[in-house]
Chain A
Amino acid sequence: GIQVEQSPPDLILQEGANSTLRCNFSDSVNNLQWFHQNPWGQLINLFYIPSGTKQNGRLSATTVATERYSLLYISSSQTTDSGVYFCVPGGYNKLIFGAGTRLAVHP
């Protein structure tokens, strides 16, 4: 099956800082989503991005499918950005989650 590697595993930021999260995956995929799991456990959809670049407010994502990686950019981080970020590739059905990147933003 598809293997997912996210880096860094843990990240601590001061409020207002920018960061880049990276995801490498082992095989070609039909589907790739970025999620934010907040401290209450809810998985929030950030991007559906099997290829290309998308932006939504302070967040943007880029997937280079041919090179099997995806990047999530967080600008001007806020304390509400804290939680776990999952890059999740998949086929037409199941999503394959890795361990994610655990982000803590301090005021």
Chain B
Amino acid sequence: GAGVSQTPSNKVTEKGKYVELRCDPISGHTALYWYRQSLGQGPEFLIYFQGTGAADDSGLPNDRFFAVRPEGSVSTLKIQRTERGDSAVYLCASSLTVGATGYNEQFFGPGTRLTVL
């Protein structure tokens, strides 16, 4: 597609359940990022992939959060034992390979709104 896509657009789950959020980056973009945005705040970085590997996962809040990108394209953010505090909009972004030029313009998807009851 032309832009970053994310599914589902909305997800409502119960406390303690497992959820998966999917991100399809822009075709040809090798770098992929996950951010989380709480109401009234700016997005916060969670994890960054370069290709298939997680190059920086320093933003993941705890070990209930995990993300994969097995073929270097689509990524899935997985949240185990969800808590009410996990409710937020989860944003995905992608960019071209970060190379020697340092050019790294990130493009964002529409987000998945997660509500944990």
Q: When the two chains form their complex, are residues B102 and A97 in contact, meaning their CB atoms are under 8 A apart?
A: no
The contact of A100 among B42, B89, B91, B108, by CB within 8 Å, is B42
> What residues of B have a CB within 8 angstroms of the CB of A95 in the complex?
33, 35, 43, 45, 93, 106
Q: From B40, which residue of chain A is reached at the shortest CB distance?
A: A99
> What residues of B have a CB within 8 angstroms of the CB of A96 in the complex?
45
A30 to B104, CA, bound (A): 9
A105 to B31, CA, bound (A): 35
Q: Which residues of A contact B (CB under 8 A)?
A: 30-31, 33, 35, 41-43, 45, 48, 86, 88, 90, 92-100
Q: When the two chains form their complex, are residues A41 and B89 in contact, meaning their CB atoms are under 8 A apart?
A: yes
Q: When the two chains form their complex, are residues A33 and B42 in contact, meaning their CB atoms are under 8 A apart?
A: no
Q: When the two chains form their complex, are residues B42 and A94 in contact, meaning their CB atoms are under 8 A apart?
A: no
Q: From B99, which residue of chain A is reached at the shortest CB distance?
A: A92
Q: From B110, which residue of chain A is reached at the shortest CB distance?
A: A42
| Chain B residues touching A, range | 20 to 34
Q: From A93, which residue of chain B is reached at the shortest CB distance?
A: B48
Given contacts A93-B33, A93-B56, contact A98 B105 (CB under 8 A): no
Point out which of A33, A41, A98 has the most chain B C-beta atoms below 10 A from its C-beta: A41
CB distance from B75 to the nearest CB of A (A): 15
15 new A-B pairs (CB below 8 Å) besides A30-B102, A35-B108, A43-B108?
A31-B105, A41-B110, A43-B43, A45-B107, A45-B108, A92-B98, A92-B102, A93-B31, A93-B33, A93-B98, A94-B45, A94-B48, A98-B42, A99-B41, A100-B42
